[in-house]
């Protein structure tokens, strides 16, 4: 699809399994979804509020990054593939929390996993490789576990 996937309401819970989410590769003739002006351009998935759980999903972006979790949102990725991003595999900011469990993150132009602000990311049993920059990067009060 063209516009990515977003979880927006604070109480929203979204569970997705077995999807392939690609940004920047819409089929000819399809109109991209309208995006919120606050969303960074090009991320395949943006989670701005609530909780999202992805199981065995693939994410790729030829425009930017694979997954952006921000504000007080929560995301859990289990057995997912984040790959072929011109920016981040996973970017967390604000007070967001995220878990990468048994995921494969590879081939990114920026950090494979970056944590900013007061965000927290847990990485367990993952394969992380082939980044043009850092594999894991935390700045400000960001926490990687």
Query: Which secondary-structure segment (H or E) carries 98?
Result: strand 97-101
- 64 SS3 class: coil
Q: pLDDT 10s digit of each residue in the chain, 145 long?
A: 445 555 444 467 889 898 888 886 544 444 444 555 555 568 999 999 999 999 999 999 988 999 999 999 999 999 999 999 999 999 999 999 999 999 999 999 999 999 999 999 999 999 999 999 999 999 999 999 9
Q: For residue 10, is it within any domain? A: yes
Does residue 33 lie in a domain region?
A: no
Q: What pLDDT score does 67 carry? A: 97
> 130 with 107: CB under 8 angstroms?
yes
The whole-number pLDDT of residue 11 equals 63
Indicate yes or no: pTM above 0.85: no
Examine residue 36 and state whether it is found in any structural domain, yes or no. Answer: no
State whether residue 99 is helix, strand or coil: strand
Please report whether residue 30 resides in a domain: no
Q: Is the sign of the CA dihedral 56, 10, 96, 110 positive or negative?
A: positive
Domain of 11 in residue numbering reads as 5-22+42-144
| 87 in any annotated domain | yes
- Asked whether residue 27 is assigned to any structural domain, the reply reads no
User: What's the domain count of the chain?
Assistant: 1
pLDDT at position 41 is 66
Q: Is residue 123 part of a domain?
A: yes
At 83 the pLDDT is 97
Return the pLDDT at 36.
Answer: 56
Q: Do the domain assignments include residue 109?
A: yes
23 HSE (CA, 13 A, CB side): 30
């Amino acid at each position: 699809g063209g516009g990515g996937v977003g979880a927006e309401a604070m109480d929203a819970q979204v569970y997705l399994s077995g999807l392939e989410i690609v940004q920047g590769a819409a089929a000819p003739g399809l109109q991209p979804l309208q995006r919120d002006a606050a969303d960074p351009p090009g991320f395949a998935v943006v989670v701005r509020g609530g909780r999202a759980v992805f199981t065995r999903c693939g994410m790729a972006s030829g425009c930017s990054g694979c997954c952006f979790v921000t504000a007080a949102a929560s995301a859990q990725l289990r057995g997912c593939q984040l790959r072929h991003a011109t920016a981040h595999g996973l970017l967390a900011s604000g007070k967001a929390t995220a878990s990468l469990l048994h995921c494969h993150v590879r081939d990114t132009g920026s950090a494979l996993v970056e944590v900013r602000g007061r965000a927290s990311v847990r990485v367990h049993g993952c394969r992380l490789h082939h980044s043009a920059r850092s594999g894991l990067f935390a700045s400000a009060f960001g926490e990687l576990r």
